[in-house]
C-alpha cells in the first residue's frame, strides 16, 4: 500500500459492515487511524479487534446530536485529531413497488439516519476541522437520489437531500478549508441491497443471480460492483490527491447514470429494415 492516509484520523459511520467496513479496512491499510461508528456493536467490536490498535469502535446513533458529538470527541481524544469524516451510515426503509402502497411509517427513521445523520456528522466534524486546518468530509448518497425511478420514495428523497446538502455545505465550509464531497453508489452488492435477507442461503443466492441480470440490463459496464469500489472512491476523496475537489458528486455505478445502454437507434433501423424487407 502507498500509505495515502498516513498520519490522518478518520471516522466512518456505518463502518461495521458493507461499504463502511470495506472503507475502514482500506483506510487502515493506507495508514489512517479510524474510529468505527455503528449501531451493531457485535460487528463493530469484532472488526476493531481484527484491525488492532489503529481502530476504535463507538456504538453510535447518527441521528443523535449528542452521540455524534461524543463520537467526534472520542476520535480527537484517542488519536489526537480528526481529518476525515465519512458519513456513510444509512437505511433503506420498507420496500414498496408503488408509492400508493407506502404508508410512510418509516419516514422519520429513514430521514433521521440518512439526512439528519449526515448533517450532524458534517457539522460536528467541521467544527473541529475549522479550528485545526481543515479536512475532508465524505457523504454517502445513492444513484437513487440522483436518478428518478419507481418505489423506495422516502429513501430516494433522503439520498437526493444528501446530494444537495453536500453541495451547499461545500460552499459554506470552504472558507475553513473543509472539503465536502459525495459518493453515489449504484449496483453494489451488500446486505442492505439484498432482497433475500430472510430466505435460506441457497434461495437468496439464486435471487441475487436473478437480480443481477435485471440490474445489469441497465448498467453499461457489465461488471458487478463491490464494496471495495466505493472504498477506493472514498480513499481518493479522503486523501490529498483531491485537495482541489469539493462539492463533487462521484457516482460509482458502472455508468448507470450516464444514460440508457440500450441501442434504440439500432433497434429502430432493424425494425425499418424488417418492414421494408431488406
Catalytic residue list:
155
- 37: nearest Cα among 28, 47, 27: 47
Contacts of 222 (CB under 8 A, 6+ apart): 216, 254
Q: If you count DSSP H runs as helices and E runs as strands, how many of each does the chain have, helices first?
A: 9, 7
Under 8 Å between Cβ of 151 and 112: no
Under 8 Å between Cβ of 242 and 179: yes
Count CB neighbours of 220 within 10 A: 15
User: E-strand spans in 141-266?
Assistant: 178-185, 249-252
Under 8 Å between Cβ of 113 and 39: no
Amino acid at each position: 500500500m502507498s500509505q495515502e492516509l498516513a498520519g490522518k484520523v478518520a471516522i466512518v459511520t456505518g463502518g461495521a459492515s458493507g461499504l463502511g467496513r470495506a472503507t475502514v479496512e482500506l483506510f487502515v491499510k493506507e495508514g489512517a487511524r479510524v474510529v468505527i461508528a455503528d449501531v451493531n456493536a457485535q460487528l463493530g467490536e469484532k472488526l476493531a479487534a481484527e484491525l488492532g490498535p489503529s481502530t476504535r469502535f463507538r456504538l453510535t446513533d447518527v441521528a443523535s446530536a449528542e452521540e455524534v458529538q461524543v463520537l467526534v470527541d472520542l476520535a480527537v481524544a484517542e488519536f489526537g485529531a480528526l481529518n476525515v469524516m465519512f458519513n456513510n451510515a444509512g437505511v433503506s426503509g420498507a420496500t414498496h413497488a408503488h408509492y400508493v402502497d407506502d404508508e410512510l411509517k418509516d419516514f422519520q427513521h429513514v430521514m433521521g439516519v440518512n439526512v439528519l445523520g449526515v448533517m450532524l456528522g458534517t457539522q460536528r466534524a467541521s467544527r473541529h476541522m475549522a479550528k485545526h486546518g481543515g479536512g475532508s468530509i465524505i457523504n454517502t448518497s445513492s444513484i437513487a437520489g440522483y436518478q428518478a425511478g419507481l418505489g423506495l420514495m422516502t429513501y430516494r428523497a433522503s439520498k437526493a437531500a444528501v446530494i444537495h446538502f453536500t453541495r451547499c455545505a461545500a460552499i459554506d465550509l470552504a472558507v475553513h478549508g473543509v472539503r465536502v464531497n459525495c459518493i453515489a453508489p449504484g449496483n453494489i452488492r451488500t446486505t442492505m441491497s439484498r432482497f433475500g435477507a430472510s430466505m435460506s442461503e441457497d434461495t437468496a443466492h439464486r435471487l441475487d443471480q436473478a437480480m443481477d441480470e435485471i440490474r445489469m440490463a441497465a448498467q453499461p459496464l457489465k461488471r458487478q460492483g463491490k464494496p471495495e469500489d466505493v472504498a477506493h472512491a472514498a480513499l481518493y476523496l479522503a486523501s490529498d490527491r483531491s485537495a482541489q475537489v469539493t462539492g463533487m458528486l462521484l457516482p460509482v455505478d458502472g455508468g448507470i447514470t450516464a444514460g440508457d445502454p440500450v441501442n434504440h437507434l439500432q433497434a429502430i433501423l432493424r425494425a425499418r429494415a424488417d418492414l421494408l424487407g431488406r
